[in-house]
Amino acid sequence: MPCAGRFFPGRPLRGPISLVAAGAFLLSLAAPALQGPRAEGASKKPARAANPSYKSAILIDAESGHILRSHNPRQPVIPASVVKMMTSLLALEHIRHKKARMSDRVKVSRAASLVGGHQVYLRPGEVFRLENLLKAVMIGSANDAAYAVAEHVAGNEPAFVRMMNQRARQLGLKDTRFVNVNGLPAGRGRPSNLMSARDAAMLARKLIHDFPFVLAWTSTRMTPFRPGKFNLYNTNKLVGRFAGLDGLKTGFTPEAGFSIVATAKRGDLRLIGVVFGSPQSQRRFNEARNLLAWGFSNYSRQAAKGKSPRDGRKTRVLKQNPDGASLGAQPQPYRLTLEGAGAGRPEAAAGEEDGPESPGSLMAAKPAAQRPQPGVMQLR
């Protein structure tokens, strides 16, 4: 005989305790109706602590340098192949100063041919145009091509690395250290390349500001390297999959995780987003896509009254879109500059060199009843 107080489907209830249990059961079924409709947009689960799938991230307006969102922007992390942005910048500046030409014939050394990792399989004695090697660096993230470029510019890798660190200091990259030209692991017991998301954004801004034609390379999904024998495939899988995206650089090593410096332009607004240290390749692309989508949903560049004192052209200012106001997404009160971190920042508050994580920072809490907006990053 079943125990009193238990409910077995298909069997009669027995005893007063059984009636109480049955009443409680029926009341629980009716509870949602008694509570009334759920507030629109309210979460069904309690808010959970922020747990981003990256070590650090930042979003900036490329024209003004204003930081729109950030998470651990000054944390030095291992950038992997993102260091190749500096390798390319130095080579292109070398060309601009007429110390080299795009048409230079670069002979591959044995040392360059022995570089491992992601590569275009250079062989000793092969000769390539400097321009083609730079494309292999920025499109295919070729480690051997980066080494060959460094040797052509500085004679050897150690000399080029010294140039990289000197240029980093000139640009105000305070959280950056270079130990090689391609971002490969330096080896056990040796220091690693380091870079913060803030420094990566500054470097990317400098690169595309001074050499915008690089974006024609980095927006290419595939191009021949050895015609008919070898093709370069872009390591940035957002190319062709996110409107306006045309760069810029990815990076990965087991220790560093998966990283990306992504840039896109819609209308007059160009954004640069950096995501460092994701545990999976697709996650970095997803986070970068969400970051850029949030920026384009919340900001636009509009013409302002008056003209620029520099060139007489109409000035354009960064404006917050009305639809984004509910997110509290105000630009942080400081910005990045092209030459040195201290210049052009009179609006920085005293004692806030790095800037606080503003209400519009990546990890800001979203109001519980706020309805998700299309194209806007959903904060966790």
Q: Which residues are catalytic?
A: 81, 84, 141
3-state secondary structure 294-363: HHHHHEEEEEEEEECCCCCCEEEEEEECHHHHHHCCCCCCCECCCCCCCCCCCCCCCCCCCCCCCCCCCC
* Residues 21/24/29/35 CA torsion (nearest 10 deg): -170
- Give 312's contacts (C-beta < 8 A, 6+ positions apart): none
Q: How many Å apart are CA 77 and CA 278, to the nearest integer?
A: 12
- Asked whether 93 and 311 are in contact (CB, 8 A), the reply is no
Look at the block and give the residue holding tokens 């384009």. Answer: 296
**For the chain, how many residues are written?**
380
Helices 157-171, 197-210: axis angle to 10 degrees equals 100
127-129/105-107 β-pairing: antiparallel
Contact of 39 with 369, CB cutoff 8 Å: yes
